[in-house]
Amino acid sequence: MTVVTRAVRCFLTLSLAVPAAWLPAQSAMQQKAVLVTGASSGIGRKVTEYLASHGFFVYAGARSQKDLDDLNAIKNVQSLRLDVTVPADIAAAVATVTKAGRGLYGVVNNAGVVVVAPLIEADEKDLDYIFGVNLYGPYRITKAFAPLILETKGRVVNISSLNGIVASPMLGAYSMSKHAVEAYGDALSAELSRFGVRVSLIEPGNYGTEIGKNVLARMDTAVVKGSRFEPQMRATLNQMRSFENNPPPDEVAEAVFDALSSSRPKPRYLVVPVASQGAIAIRKVFDNAVQLNDGQKFSYTRDQLVQMLDDALARNKQRR
């Protein structure tokens, strides 16, 4: 028997002798872990299921025991009792994830709520509520898990909204919170890029979720009657009720997956079920540019504006 043959047999013997229990642990260490907040339903549930079925281990945040149990039944998912407004829940989630030893590659800040009310009639407590979840939630979660994300040079994905670009009547508080999430994402991206952490914003359109049902469950509908905006409020509520009939948010989950897995994730993902919603967002951006340029001391000509657009398109192409 040659020396090479003996060496090969020795290697195979040692390999077979490795305890079987060690192999899954090794695999788990190589599997990237991601935290998803607001994972009990809608976009959060779809993102959780999609990531778990495409190679990620998902820590899924939810509040009710039933939702926690349902999430635990999904392969590659571990539920966490997590209310993004409760510091004790966040601290316990950090401790659980840290103790598990998988590390944490990504955070998907999805938890969100909606308030339907005209701004001149909305209670201040409603603004505190919506900002506490939609804006301070991502801030608290990302800050708490930042040491783990920095260690892995991972990703932060913030679920914004079409309303982060376009402000809608009767949804002013929600639009305000999502505009703030856009600013938060941009600033966070600039700050964390030097550490190798990439930050993306997802702007979903009107997909099929239970958002309308959730709004009505929390809302005192008595405030609608007698409001000077009663017709507009009822129209908005009726529109939100119909969201359940829209296409499921599969495309949103695919965008989140790309933001977490691509070597060059996009800073923004506008994901809409119909072309008209995308057109609304893009036209709004152009309208803002035109309004900013109109009559200001250093206004640009049309040709200069077109050149700026060409330059932006070229930079985006290089980024990809």
Cβ–Cβ contacts within 10 Å for residue 82, how many? 25
Tell whether the torsion through CA atoms of 88, 91, 97 and 99 is positive or negative. negative
| Largest pairwise CA distance in the chain | 95
Rounded Cα distance, 215 and 25, in Å: 43
Q: How many residues does the chain have?
A: 320
Which position among 174, 184, 207, 269 bears the catalytic label?
A: 174
Pick the closest to residue 131 from 175, 90, 167 (CA basis). 175
Q: Provide, for the chain, the percentages of residues in helix, strand and coil under a 3-state DSSP scheme, each rounded to the nearest 5.
A: 60, 10, 30
Give the contacts of 250 (CB within 8 A, at least 6 positions apart): 46, 50
129 is catalytic: no
| Catalytic residue positions, numbered | 174
